Amino acid sequence: MSLPSLHDLHRPLGATGLAVSPLGLGTVKFGRDQGVKYPNGFTIPDDQAAAALLRQAQALGINLLDTAPAYGHSETRLGPLLRGQRDQWVIVSKVGEEFENNQSRFDFSAEHTRLSVERSLRRLETDCIDLVMVHSDGNDLHILEHTDVYETLARLKQEGKLRAYGFSGKTVEGGLKALEHGDCAMVTYNLNEQTERPVIEYAALHDKGLLIKKALASGHACQQPGIDPVRASFEALFTQPGVTAAIVGTINPVHLAHNVATVAKVLNNH
């Protein structure tokens, strides 16, 4: 019997022309183990383990990879790991947040946005990033209305350095505003936190891409007797028609296989 996979479940990311797996692999743990909010400690995988995880993800039908400059060495490691297979992946990166000396700092200026994207292109060894998201510090509307980050991303898209851009925010107002002009939003949505649902509904109505972060509440998924928290989490997500994909970060092959099998089951039952 073949393993459940996501190969036949890829879907359009809004109107971007990109088709993505409903589950994306978050790679924060490929490059950063400081200042991360996970319930258990972990060791950053070596190249062999990281390459094996990427091969497994691909075999299970995942083509969506999420990284960021703020994820430590994640981008720098992904470049060499993806050599010869760039066209098989949809890569999401970010701008706006830098992580240095164990703390975050934010810069949404035009100069920094361009510098950040061009640095990510070099690190990822590619001439075009599929999707670049703004890594918000929480002041969503201020960033969108009073900085040049979105305008700069639009220009970089025209230059062919990225295919699509969007916003990973923390507020409903920010998510809605971001989708008016951008291609995609990334919102928090899980069993415990559903305040950003209006952004998901807007995405469904306006053919925008919508990615979910913290789908399993960063590993803190709700515990109720007799309920598989992973299954319940993915059911809550994928009953929302606006959701394109959930980004889940893991370096555990067993968790990865379980997540894929669960998503496949949930989507095939709908």
C-beta of residue 88 within 8 angstroms of C-beta of residue 130 = no
Cβ partners under 8 Å of residue 259, min gap 6: 23, 230, 234, 248, 250
Asked about 71 being catalytic, the answer comes back as: yes
C-beta of residue 28 within 8 angstroms of C-beta of residue 249 = yes
Find the catalytic residue in 38, 71, 165, 202: 71
d(CA 111, CA 193): 35
d(CA 205, CA 95): 27
d(CA 185, CA 209): 6
Q: Which residue type occupies 24?
A: G
C-beta of residue 163 within 8 angstroms of C-beta of residue 128 = yes
C-beta of residue 256 within 8 angstroms of C-beta of residue 265 = no
- Strand runs labelled E in the chain: 11-12, 19-20, 23-26, 64-66, 90-95, 97-100, 103-106, 129-135, 162-168, 184-188, 209-213, 245-249
Report, as residue numbers or ranges, the catalytic residues: 71
